[in-house]
Amino acid sequence: QVQLVESGGGLVQAGGSLRLSCAASGGTFSSYAMGWFRQAPGKERELVAEISARGGSTYYAEYVKGRFTISRDNAKNTVYLQMNSLKPEDTAVYYCAASPRVATGSGLGYGYWGQGTQVTVSS
């Protein structure tokens, strides 16, 4: 059983940056693909980015390419999401998730979820 705890959310002005962290425990972190998802009010949850278990492959949603970077530190059991050039439409609750499957960019197979962290971007 993997437990995930996100941190780093907050309020930022448009054009600003935030770095989200997700600390994992209870499992072999380096064997899980990790993903960041987000859900805005009234909208469905959507994939933001994925990273493979060893960190060699990353996938991004089109609307964050060039602005967000996913990374992981398997020695610290932590995955990160660096968010730059934030826009008001990036406002959402951001969740990290873990999957024992190979990361493919599909956002599927994620069975372990954190509680989420709020990101609010003001215009």
What is the predicted pLDDT for the residue at 69? Answer: 98
What is the predicted pLDDT for the residue at 105? Answer: 84
pLDDT at 101 over 90: no
What is the predicted pLDDT for the residue at 107? Answer: 85
With contact defined as beta carbons under 8 Å apart, do 79 and 51 qualify? yes
pLDDT at 108 over 90: no
How far is residue 39's CA from residue 94's CA, in Å, rounded to a whole number?
7
What residues form DSSP beta bridges with 15?
Answer: none
Question: Average pLDDT in the 53-69 region?
Answer: 96
Going from the C-alpha of 64 to that of each of 17, 58, 93, 101, 121, the distances in angstroms are 13, 13, 15, 23, 14
Nearest to 81 by CA among 47, 108, 121: 47
pLDDT at 102 over 90: no
pLDDT at 1 over 90: no
Task: Summarize the chain as % helix, strand, coil (round to 5).
Answer: 5, 50, 45
